[in-house]
């Protein structure tokens, strides 16, 4: 069939083809996530040891108050480990889905690959930031804040939820500069626009930090807000360099 004679049908077929490819790649991601989560479940004791390490010296012993709480906590740990392990596969599927749009410009395809690799490194940096800095700082403040009022008996389920929220938040927050640079690199955003909207961006960051922080205290909010502001400024700087290189 000649696409020039039937442009509407051609666009519909092309759209359906993209939907089918997207569905297939989502199924791949879901399948790998499921396998990774099952594998993580069989290493639950090792993962539990990693989860307890940031609380060393702060929480003497985790407790549980319901018969199924330990099993539920292990399920959460397994899902968290499965997501972290499958994140590189998710990035690869995103890259593979986007590259056909740049078949005629190999340089742009290479740029997207570089940004995907950078996104993986930023995700890892966010995990490490939460693990070694955010979680110990949050626990130290919260436990010492209430130490003279009550004894800190922390349940396993609550600690796992607290740990998972901070770790995933850190990993995703560190993607801020990558998202900004990708939008600028594809022409969907201008660095000048970002700079003129900087006060609004700071306000949005403070609101987002307050929403994503699992506790409601100002200290924990600032633990994420300050790095987010630095990441935003880093994104502005790199975006400006990208724009300059494209013009040159």
- The string of pLDDT tens digits covering residues 171-196 is 989 999 998 888 887 777 888 898 89
Average pLDDT, the chain: 85
pTM for this model (two decimals): 0.84
Give the per-residue pLDDT at 138. Answer: 85
For 95-134, how does the pLDDT look when each residue is reduced to its tens digit (9 = 90+)? 888 777 655 567 767 777 888 889 999 999 999 999 999 8
Give the per-residue pLDDT at 82. Answer: 96
Distance in angstroms (rounded) separating the CA atoms of residues 177 and 54:
27
Q: How confident is the model at residue 6 (pLDDT cuts 50, 70, 90)?
A: very low
Give the orientation angle of helix 69-98 with respect to helix 156-173, to 10 degrees.
10
For 29-77, how does the pLDDT look when each residue is reduced to its tens digit (9 = 90+)? 999 999 999 999 999 889 999 999 999 988 989 999 999 999 999 999 9
Give the per-residue pLDDT at 19. Answer: 83
Query: For the stretch 147-173, what's the b/e string if a residue is b when 16 or more beta carbons lie within 10 angstroms of its beta carbon?
Result: eeeeeeebebbbbbbbbbbbbbbbbbb
Give the per-residue pLDDT at 123. Answer: 95
């Amino acid at each position: 069939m000649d696409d020039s004679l039937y442009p509407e049908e051609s666009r519909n077929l092309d759209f359906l083809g993209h939907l089918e490819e997207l569905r297939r790649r989502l199924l791949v991601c879901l399948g790998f996530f499921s396998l990774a989560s099952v594998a993580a479940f069989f290493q639950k004791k090792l993962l539990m040891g990693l989860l307890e390490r940031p609380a060393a010296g702060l929480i003497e012993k985790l407790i549980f108050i319901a018969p199924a709480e330990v099993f539920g906590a292990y399920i959460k740990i397994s899902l968290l480990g499965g997501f972290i392990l499958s994140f590189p596969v998710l990035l690869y599927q995103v890259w593979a889905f986007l590259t056909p749009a740049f078949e005629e410009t190999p340089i742009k395809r290479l740029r997207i690959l570089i940004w995907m690799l950078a996104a993986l490194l930023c995700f890892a940096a966010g995990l490490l930031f939460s693990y070694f800095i955010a979680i110990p700082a949050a626990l130290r403040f919260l436990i010492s804040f209430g130490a003279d009022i009550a004894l800190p008996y922390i349940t396993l389920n609550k600690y796992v939820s607290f740990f998972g929220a901070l770790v995933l938040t850190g990993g995703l927050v560190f993607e801020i500069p990558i998202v900004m640079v990708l939008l600028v690199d594809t022409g969907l955003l201008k660095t000048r626009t970002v700079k003129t909207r900087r006060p609004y961006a700071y306000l949005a960051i403070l609101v987002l930090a307050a929403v994503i922080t699992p506790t409601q205290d100002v200290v924990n909010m600032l633990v994420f807000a300050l790095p987010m502001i630095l990441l935003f400024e880093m994104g502005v700087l790199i975006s400006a360099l990208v724009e300059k290189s494209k013009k040159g």
